Amino acid sequence: MKKRLFSLSAIIFLATACQQPKAPESQMGVYKMESSNLKGGTSDTTYSNPHQLKIYNATHYFYVAMTDDSVVSFGLGSYKQDGANITETNVYNTGSLDTAADFKLTIAKTEKGYSQNIPEMVVSGTKYSLTENYATVAASGTSDLDGVWKETSNYTVKGKDTSSTLGVQFKMYHAGHFVFAHRYPTDATNTTFKKGFGSGTFTYANGVAEEVNDFSNYPSVIGVKYTLKIVFNGKDEFTQTITDEKTGNYTVETYKRL
C-alpha cells in the first residue's frame, strides 16, 4: 500500500511540475524588426516592412532604425529583466539624447523571435500602445571587443593635415555582430546635426577586427570590408585605427567601456 501511495505521489509531483511556468529566457540576442503596430486616438497603423535592428547583451540594448525616406533614429541604454517584463533605461537616443528615462516593455517569445509591447505611452496628449515583432538573427561567439563603448576621442590624418570630429558616438559588439550610431554638428554654430549608424558582422583576432556593414544610412559603406587595428589599454579602453590603403589617410578612434 505504501508503495502505491509513493507512486501516486510521484505522478502528482511530476504532473504539477510540468504545469509550472518555464523560467524566463534571457533576452540576449540580435533581432530584426519585421512589423510594428501603433494604436491610439483614432489611428491603428501597421508597418509591415520596418527597417530596424536591435541587440541585447547581458546588460544593455542598442537599436538603430531608418524610415523609407532615410530618417535615422537610434537608442541605447541599460535594461533589467523580470520574467516577461523588461525595463529599459535610456543612455542616449536621437529624441531625448542623454535624458534619464525608463521604458517598460512586455516581452513574449515567438517561433521566429519575440514580440514587444509598450501598453501605454503619451505623445502630444494622446495615449498610444505600440507592439513590435522581431525575428532572431543568427549570432554566435565571443571576443574581447564584446560590450558597449563610448567614443572619447578621434582624429583623421590626411597627408600633413589632422582634424577631429566633435560629437557623440557609441558602439556595441556582441556575438559576432556590431552596431554604431553617432550624432555630430555639421556647422560652426553647433546648431545643425548629422545622425548616422551602421551595423553588420565582425571578426576579431590578434589585434585586428574586420567589419562588414549590411545595414546603414550610408549606402557607400554597405558590403565593404573595413580592417581595424585594435590596441587595448586595459580591458575597458581600446583604440581603433582604420587606414585607407589607396591614399594612406587614416582615422584613429578611442573608446571607453560603459
- Is residue 22 a part of any domain in this protein? no
Give the pLDDT mean for 70-78.
97
Q: What does the alpha-carbon distance between residue 116 and residue 39 come to, in Å, rounded to a whole number?
A: 14
Instruction: Tell me whether residue 126 is in a domain.
Output: yes
Question: Do both 35 and 72 map to the same domain?
Answer: yes
Are 165 and 252 members of one domain?
A: yes
Residue 48 per-residue DSSP state = S
**Per the structure block, which three cell numbers stand in for 168?**
557623440
Of 76, 109, 137, which marks where a domain is finished?
137
Same domain, yes or no, for 86 and 170? no
- Radius of gyration of the CA atoms of the chain, in A: 23
Contact 64, 55 (CB under 8 A): no
* Mean pLDDT, all residues of the chain: 90
The domain boundary, picked from 137, 155, 181, lies at: 137
117 and 90 in a common domain:
yes
Look at residue 6 and tell me whether its pLDDT is greater than 50: no
Residues 132 and 151 in one domain: no
Residue 1 has pLDDT above 80, yes or no: no
Domain co-membership, 93 together with 166: no
Residue 6 lies in a domain: no
Q: Identify whether 177 is part of a domain.
A: yes
Taking only the tens place, the pLDDT of each residue in 89-116 is 999 999 999 999 999 999 999 999 999 9
| Percentage of residues in the chain having pLDDT higher than 70 | 91
Residues 168/190, Cβ–Cβ less than 8 Å:
no
pLDDT at residue number 9? 44
Say whether both 103 and 67 belong to one domain.
yes
151 shares its domain with 253: yes
Q: 126: buried, middle or exposed (CB in 10 Å: 19+, 13-18, 0-12)?
A: exposed
Structural domain boundaries enclosing 124: 29-137
Check whether 12 has a pLDDT greater than 70. Answer: no
Residues 130 and 48 occupy one common structural domain: yes
The residue whose grid cell reads 550610431 is: 181
Task: Decide which of 132 and 125 is more confident.
Answer: 132
Burial class (CB in 10 A: 0-12, 13-18, 19+), 133: buried
Average pLDDT over residues 22-48: 86
What is the rounded distance in angstroms from the CA atom of residue 148 to the CA atom of residue 174?
A: 9
pLDDT band at 52; cut points 50, 70, 90: very high
Same domain (yes/no): 224, 176? yes
Residue 12 placed within a domain: no
Identify which has the larger pLDDT, 150 or 188.
150
Same domain, 80 and 170: no
Write down the pTM of the prediction: 0.88
**pLDDT at res. 24:** 54
Final residue belonging to a domain, choices 89, 111, 137: 137
Partnered with residue 205 across adjacent β-strands are 208
What is the predicted pLDDT for the residue at 8? 43
DSSP letters for 231-256:
EESSTTEEEEEEE-TTT--EEEEEEE
CATH number at residue 205: 2.40.128.490
Q: pLDDT tens for residues 156-200?
A: 999 999 999 889 999 999 999 999 999 999 988 888 999 999 999
* Cα end-to-end distance, the chain, whole Å: 63
- 107 Cβ contact partners less than 8 Å away, ≥ 6 residues apart: 27, 81, 84, 85, 86, 114, 115, 116
Q: With respect to residue 3, please indicate whether it lies within any of the assigned structural domains.
A: no
Q: Tell the residue number behind the cell numbers 533589467, with chain if given.
A: 80
Q: Residue 48 domain-assigned?
A: yes
- How many folded domains does the chain comprise? 2
In a domain, 17, yes or no: no
211-255: pLDDT as tens digits: 999 999 999 999 999 999 999 999 999 999 999 988 999 999 999
